[in-house]
Structure 1
Amino acid sequence: MSTEPSAALHPAAPSAAVPSAAVPSASVSSALAGSDSRPALERRLDPQIRKLAVGVWTAELIGDELANISYGGRPVLRAIKAVVRDHEWRTFAPSVRDIEELKDDDGISLRIHVDYAAPGTAADGTAAPGTAADGTEPPAYEGMLMLRVTPAIVDVSFSGRAKAAFRRNRIGLVVLHPTSEAGRDVSVVSPDGNVTSGAFPTDIRPDLVFTDISSLEWADAGTAFDLGFSGDIFETEDQRNWSDGSFKTYSTPSALPTAVDVAVGDTVKQSVSIEALSIETPDNPARESQEQAAFAVGVPVGTVPALALSVDTVDADSTASAPVGAGSAEGPTLPGLDAVLVELYEPREAWPAKLAAAAREADRHGAALDVRVVSDSADGVAEALSSALGGSLSRVVRLGLFHPETQCTDPAAFDALKASLNDAGFSGQLLAGTRSHFTELNRWIAGSSAGSGNVSPVPKDADALTFSLAPQVHSTEIPHIVETVPVQRLAAASAHKLGEGRPVHVGPITLKPRLHAPDQRAEGDELQDHSFTAAWTLASLHALTVDGVASVTYFEAGPPRGVTAADGALNPAGELLRRLAACKGDPVLAADPVQSQRRAGKSPVTVYPVQSDGGLQLFLGNLSPRESTARFTLPQGTGGSAAPGAAEVTVIGAAAGSRAEASRAEASSADDGYLTVTLGPWATAVVTFRA
């Protein structure tokens, strides 16, 4: 990465603009200079999208990100964007200051000025409350992106400059490749011209996919693509390790030391270009279908996993009365909740208060305890836990021990802990794995196996494996959060395989990472109390309802990262989890798209049918800022006139403005009728058919 002396931030402009009529093959869907005066959360949930089209190239400009780059209707790249990440891997928040559009005879050029706010600061660089206690000026950065699209090439260049001194791990352009590229053969060209063959992995790969990249070359359906990089050496990793829906090619090779000091005025210049050479005529760009989503609800395909909550004990008082979680004993409860998860750190003097607070929370719900200990030794752990819980570990259903440096299980400590548990009354499951992301589990097993003759580091006496999830490790944009959902299923299935068939306990799942760097506090998210989080949670549970997943822990008991709002009432995610916790172990039915829906493409509606003793509950969530309608063919005897008026619609988060409505068609001689449900933006609902 270059750190040249301060220079002009604005690259030379392309040739003078000409009337758009002179460029019939180029178009921009909306005025680029317009401002968006909506509230910040509304802009985040439904960002302005500017569609770009030149020849058969299409792309979308969303904020500072060039997204969904396609050629002839075929996806080529998920996104190109610039990122600034500090020494703790926290991402500076981008804010577009202005955009200038220039057209010429060849295509479209856009010049975008972006400000990058340090974590905990506003977009203008001012400190948020409580983030600059030492009085120092928060780090800030600015950049200029030049986007150019012609019939043959898409080019993105970045010039960045530091406005304050800070320490960085990465600054520059990143390219996101869609997960649909898994299995794609690629030629990797190094800066010295050497060419090696490779492929995007199908299984989630723990190590680097490609290294020492000057360009990547591949072919798809008669078109050859050349993705070139300049300004640094690039490499590719499998971001599915963090549940991202992409592979990522980035600069600052991981072999180089981090973190690096950045001085005021230091600059970075990089560029990325994707060039297409069609051997045959490409297809016409795909058009969005207007067909209504349709599903057929059928036979059981799984069961509802056990659900758990976590409690935040970082700031628990040293007294046994320290409040942690949703509040008083009169607060809302989640009947059927499997466990309350508590993480215990050194010093051990704080454990009694933290365990007491977690036990009170578990008592309110009638749940057990799931205890995760972070310590470099098992010495005295069983005794300390037993003493804090009244002399017995009988109410602990799961117990894990993780090293504070690796965040993974230490096999020797695991064996020592197991040997000491017999006299403490522990009869639950002893967990191995990681308290961090799937990344660490994947690397732990792959690294240890490679160094020990393919012998897995998972202790043979481990009852189950565990790992956690957070959808915003790399990106906070809503589409990227949504795209983590299908990857969660892949990660869970991979963990089940890595554990040689052991059950998997997923969580805690939080919107933002619980741990990122030593002593870094977990952050709340403005989405936590929004109806979006209920719809996302339903989609997440649907993805994790897969063979091998035994339990899923979502969020915390209390605000700001929990299932209750500041007033103590359940937020939409809490309302949803209360309904789902009561369904533990109930059959989940298939909800297959009908043939017309397969042609129409993926629907934003999640369908999660649960068959309980009391009847069929159709859990539905809309992961879209637009109203969505879906039609359902129901099992025999559930819909149509066979049970007139039996459908009850419960809107999750109705108090916050969510809406949904359902209507039923009369049965005919051909079928048993069908149900049509319309969901408002980001809405979640339960349609119940009583037995």
Structure 2
Amino acid sequence: MPLATQRHEAAEAGQPLRLSAGPVSVELNPSGTALRNIAFDGEVVLRGLAFVARDENWGTLPLAAAPQIRRSEDSIEIEASGEGDHPNGDLSWHVLFRISPKGIEARSAVRSSRGFLTNRTGLVVLHGLAACRGQEVVVTHADGRSTHAAFPVQISPHQPFMDMAALAHRTARGTAVLIAFEGEVFETEDQRNWTDASYKTYSRPLALPFPYRIGAGEAVEQNVRIAFKAGAAASGTIETQSRIDKAALLPRLEAGLPVVRPVPDQAVAPAIKELSLHAIALEIDPDEPGWADKLAGHLAAIPGNIRLNCRLRGHTDYATVLEAIDRVLSGRKPLGISVWDAAQEAVDHARRLWPDTPIGGGTGAFFTELNRGTLPSRIDYATWTTNPTVHASDDDTLGESIEPLADILATAHAKAPGLDLVVGPLTLGMRFNPNATSPEARRAEAPPDPRQHTVLAASWLLGTIAGFIDAAVKDLIVFEAAGPKGLVQADGLLSPSGHLVSRLAPLAGCKAEIVTWAHEPRARGLLVHTPEGRVLALTQARAAPASLVLPEGRWAAPERLHLKGFTAGSQQAGGMIDVDGFGVVWVAEAN
């Protein structure tokens, strides 16, 4: 229904647009298909409310539009539409958001003229982690029944809420939230499995067959209505002091190197040595032609410590693969051999082949696969990989992925009690997609991320390393050693992440503490106690700059990370420091 006293405007291209209607504020993405950081009275209640279209392999399709924004005295209406031909079919879509001081309504409508194959097309709601973790929920089901539950504290491997028509809860600050769903049955999954700082409510239920087809000429409509009601007044006090959240030894840092990549050449080998890595983790995919010969070439070219990571998911001929690895190793002893996604029989076979080598079990995919699966017995460590771009690839999504890492560690401890943990490779993009619906798509890796050799990637890496500080985490495998997904660029120069790693890697085994600030939930500090004194690496994993109170002590002039390395300032840091959005700062204790 049209709003009265309307004013029309276009969204600014390229940047989120901040909009507010009374106590409700949102950030609108450039295409007009998503609202992010939906806050009520300053509390981020929802990380997002969006229309998405995914193909049959869970790939997110681009939705380009020029949204129109109409304002009345106290409300806002946003409308966007588009159409496109994709490999999985054609799709026409229309999205409408209405924002008022009491809530938000979202409507989506799609149509295909020839048919559209999809795993999910419709509206999704992302419930904010800080606002919702542990909060009690009343679920209204499609048949009108109501049940009581709670947003999980430990990461749920499967859907905590199913068969939903409505969801009601209070936030951590006491705001009452009521969300009603129309047009499809919705359910909720725990997005922390993929390092998102949210729980996601979506349709259609995963128990139904997928991919499914929107038929030729078929129209599909959905509606989500969200109502907010103020609870108890929030405290006006904002804590700005730094605090130490956790302490453990700094893990050993390694870098990955799939054997399908070229052997490091003379241009990059000296720079790899400069990184002071504890080991190179060679990754083997037995489905790649000639993998054993390539492994032999890498072993001959790489001196020092190595680790082997071998994908074994679906391999019934595991014995042939493992025995081929043993022949190629020819007595060389890796730090560990990870048999990713392997059955118990494969683990037992690896144990017989390498009785004196640590054997790792877990997954070469993201934490979800570890959380949903069963670890084999008689392993020395549990392992998984991580990347922040499973559901989206914008900068803000990278930044939010540092928030749930403590929850991931707590869940991993419950899943693998008493075991050491080896995490990585840590990468910006997916190395392969275990949930794709064809063998080719399951093995396909994401192209290099254009941000790999920027300070933003180093910011994400520092926040992730800090998030994985834990007594059980012995090794972190960070990016690849070299190349478009690596720490070293093709010309032999260190990337910003490479400069960061070259400073942190020699400090492995030193006491490290995680420093946080309550008023800046994505600011992270890594405080390392070295024999020469303390050093502090800081980042702000979001676009906005931050002013941070330093831990007690005398601090020297800060060094700020740029494309070519760290640059020192002229003045001592004092008690406060400014950190740019997605910036990295290094501060040493003053003598």
Q: TM-score, normalised by structure 2?
A: 0.89
Indicate yes or no: 2:390 matched with 1:443.
no
Q: Rate the CA distance shift 1:248–1:343 in 2: closer, same or farther, 3 A.
A: same
Partner secondary structure for residue 547 of structure 1 = coil
CA deviation string 1:542-595 (max 9, x = no partner): 0001221111111112222111224331111111111111111111145465xx
Aligned counterparts of 2:6 and 2:353: Cα–Cα separation in 1:
79
Q: Which amino acid aligns with 1:33?
A: A
Q: Which amino acid aligns with 2:108?
A: F
Q: Which amino acid aligns with 1:496?
A: H
Aligned counterparts of 1:74 and 1:622: Cα–Cα separation in 2:
19
Q: 1:98 aligns with which of 50, 54, 66?
A: 66
Which of structures 1 and 2 has the bigger CA Rg? 1
Aligned counterparts of 2:448 and 2:460: Cα–Cα separation in 1:
16
Question: Partner of 1:367 in structure 2?
Answer: 305
Q: 1:65 aligns with which of 1, 25, 34?
A: 34
Equivalences for 1:218-367 in 2 at 5 Å?
218-220=169-171, 224-262=176-214, 266-277=218-229, 283=233, 294-295=241-242, 301-314=247-260, 322-323=262-263, 328-346=268-286, 350-359=290-299, 362-363=302-303, 366-367=304-305
Indicate yes or no: 2:420 matched with 1:507.
no
Q: Which amino acid aligns with 2:348?
A: D
Equivalences for 1:467-546 in 2 at 5 Å?
467-516=384-433, 517=436, 518-546=442-470
Equivalences for 1:96-135 in 2 at 5 Å?
97-104=65-72, 107-114=75-82
Q: 1:677 aligns with which of 566, 577, 583?
A: 577
Return the offset for 1:381: 4.1
Aligned counterparts of 1:207 and 1:313: Cα–Cα separation in 2:
34
Residue pair 1:469, 1:509 contacting (<8 A) in 2 also: yes
Indicate yes or no: 2:47 matched with 1:78.
yes
Q: Which moved more, 1:370-379 or 1:512-521?
A: 370-379
Question: Partner of 1:463 in structure 2?
Answer: 380
Residue pair 1:587, 1:610 contacting (<8 A) in 2 also: yes
Equivalent pairs, count? 578
Q: 1:144 aligns with which of 94, 104, 107?
A: 94
Aligned counterparts of 1:225 and 1:437: Cα–Cα separation in 2:
31
Question: Partner of 2:118 in structure 1?
Answer: 168
Aligned counterparts of 1:158 and 1:605: Cα–Cα separation in 2:
36
Q: Rate the CA distance shift 1:264–1:565 in 2: closer, same or farther, 3 A.
A: farther
Q: 2:106 aligns with which of 130, 133, 156?
A: 156
Q: Rate the CA distance shift 1:561–1:541 in 2: closer, same or farther, 3 A.
A: same
Q: Which moved more, 1:354-363 or 1:503-512?
A: 354-363
Aligned counterparts of 1:116 and 1:544: Cα–Cα separation in 2:
41
Residue pair 1:326, 1:558 contacting (<8 A) in 2 also: no
Partner secondary structure for residue 346 of structure 1 = coil
Residue pair 2:95, 2:106 contacting (<8 A) in 1 also: yes
Equivalences for 1:643-662 in 2 at 5 Å?
647=556, 649-655=558-564, 661=569
Q: Which runs of 5+ in 2 are unaligned?
A: 437-441
Q: Which moved more, 1:504-513 or 1:376-385?
A: 376-385
Aligned counterparts of 1:619 and 1:419: Cα–Cα separation in 2:
43
Aligned counterparts of 1:175 and 1:686: Cα–Cα separation in 2:
38
Partner secondary structure for residue 485 of structure 1 = coil
CA deviation string 1:474-509 (max 9, x = no partner): 121222221111212321232123111101001111
Q: Which amino acid aligns with 1:385?
A: I
Question: Partner of 1:412 in structure 2?
Answer: 345
Question: Partner of 2:439 in structure 1?
Answer: none
Aligned counterparts of 1:327 and 1:469: Cα–Cα separation in 2:
29
Aligned counterparts of 1:264 and 1:360: Cα–Cα separation in 2:
57
Q: Rate the CA distance shift 1:606–1:183 in 2: closer, same or farther, 3 A.
A: closer
- How large is the RMSD of aligned CA atoms in angstroms? 3.1
CA deviation string 1:455-475 (max 9, x = no partner): xx531x211100111111112
Return the offset for 1:350: 2.1
Partner secondary structure for residue 550 of structure 1 = strand
Q: Rate the CA distance shift 1:689–1:242 in 2: closer, same or farther, 3 A.
A: same
Question: Partner of 1:688 in structure 2?
Answer: 588
Aligned counterparts of 1:73 and 1:612: Cα–Cα separation in 2:
40
Residue pair 1:337, 1:581 contacting (<8 A) in 2 also: yes
Return the offset for 1:93: 2.2
Return the offset for 1:272: 0.3
Question: Partner of 1:663 in structure 2?
Answer: 571
Q: Rate the CA distance shift 1:360–1:617 in 2: closer, same or farther, 3 A.
A: farther
Partner secondary structure for residue 292 of structure 2 = helix
Residue pair 1:664, 1:676 contacting (<8 A) in 2 also: no
Partner secondary structure for residue 60 of structure 2 = coil
